[in-house]
Amino acid sequence: MIKKKIVAVFLALAGMVAAGCGNSDLMVLTPYGDAVIKEDGTSAGTGAAHASDADKPSADVSDSAAADVADGANGQDASKPAAGGDTSGLLHVGFAQVGAESGWRLAQTQSMKDTFTEENGYIFDFVDCNNNQKTQLQALEQFIENGVQYIILDPIVEDGYDEVLKKAKDANIPVIVVDRKISADASLYACWVGSDFSREGKDAAEWLAAFLSENQRASEEINILTILGSDGASAAIGRTNGFEEIAQNQGGWNLLDKQTGDFTKDGGYAVMKAYLDKYDKIDVVVCQNDDEAFGAVEAIKEAGKTCGPDGDIVIISFDATRAGFEAMIAGDINVDVECNPLEGPFVAELIQKLEKGETVEAIQYMEEGVFAAEEAAAVLPSRVY
Ligand code: GYE
């Protein structure tokens, strides 16, 4: 594995272990399987009224999941979880999540829910925004109206959050942006924690260059197709730019096409089917997440073609979820560039620092690596998501 450690983040992790984030139950969760979040391994008592909201995407903030936000004013509502019937002392945190489109997303949601438990000192309002920015903006407005103390925002796209962030700032509610980036001025939010998507894209291209060279194909014409993530999402933009930056310096790489698969299996399947109809010679398919890769592999097999380490088409994927590892072991995917979704403990650490009036790093990157199919079986047992 090519393991890229970002020292500042690692030190932050070490600090969290030492400090326990103010709770001895809480340990650091890294992608390498060396820690756990809760002693009892459960999220019991996690904002009971909200705990299952990840499973019911809400298309409109006025109903389902978002309605839970509306009724949770200042954590005083009777429907809110309460320690011994009293919510005083608990920090009220609202999380506007992108949706539930992928295995990665579910792992990130779980990390947040396992972290922001009542036992750890939080009231947690969770809204699944169903990949709809309008819903997400409404959820943020509602958090502000409800007087939450902190907002966690995983922005669906990069643009369009300035106004609501100004409102949060005026209301003195710090916003912690997670995972994807936004274009808004940095003065409008407290900090950002997530992945270096451009670096992930570069890692993928560098792996491909090394792979082609090892297989004596460095001087061949290589036809490459990309299945993009969701339009406007920084994860998709960064991975594309990073990959293309390296690709443009490679002699025979032809970047034939890039279409969005919306980070879903169905999207990956549909785009791959169209590619197979249109292009005769396909050497490499870059899928911008595991779910898209699963759909692409299905379409390739249905078309009677082969992929993976022993097949004709090289499949590059991102996320490195457990299911991604299993697909590498099954011989369907060649390489998976990791994107670490275990952001909950980082965010809790940041909130605790802000509570104490300490300054926090404006940008923090997660620790991530690159895994090739040959090592997948050995690494899988140590994976925690
Ligand atoms: O790669 C994909 C998810 O923003 C990093 O979103 C995240 C991406 C992740 O749908 O699986």
Task: Report residue 138: phi and psi, to 5°.
Answer: -65, -40
Alpha carbons within 13 angstroms on the beta-carbon side of residue 112 total 34
Contact 130, 316 (CB under 8 A): no
pLDDT of residue 88: 77
CATH assignment of 197-339? 3.40.50.2300
Residue-range domain boundaries for the chain = 9-194, 197-339
Closest ligand 1 atom to 234 CA: 4
Calculate how far, in angstroms, residue 339's C-alpha sits from the geometric centre of ligand 1. Answer: 8
Calculate how far, in angstroms, residue 366's C-alpha sits from the geometric centre of ligand 1. Answer: 14
Calculate how far, in angstroms, residue 217's C-alpha sits from the geometric centre of ligand 1. Answer: 31
Closest ligand 1 atom to 318 CA: 1
pTM of the model: 0.81
The pick from 98, 102, 179 for probing ligand 1's pocket by mutation, whose C-beta has the most ligand atoms within 8 angstroms, reads 102
Ligand 1 site residues, Cβ closer than 6 angstroms: 101-102, 104-105, 179-180, 195, 235, 263, 289, 318-319, 339
Closest ligand 1 atom to 194 CA: 5
- For ligand 1, atom 8, which residue shows the shortest CA distance? 235
Closest ligand 1 atom to 104 CA: 11
CATH assignment of 9-194? 3.40.50.2300
Q: Block means of pLDDT (10 residues each) for the chain, length 385 residues? A: 37 32 30 29 27 32 37 31 55 98 98 98 98 98 98 98 98 98 98 98 98 97 98 98 97 97 98 98 98 98 98 98 98 98 96 97 95 98 92
pLDDT of residue 280: 97
pLDDT of residue 87: 62
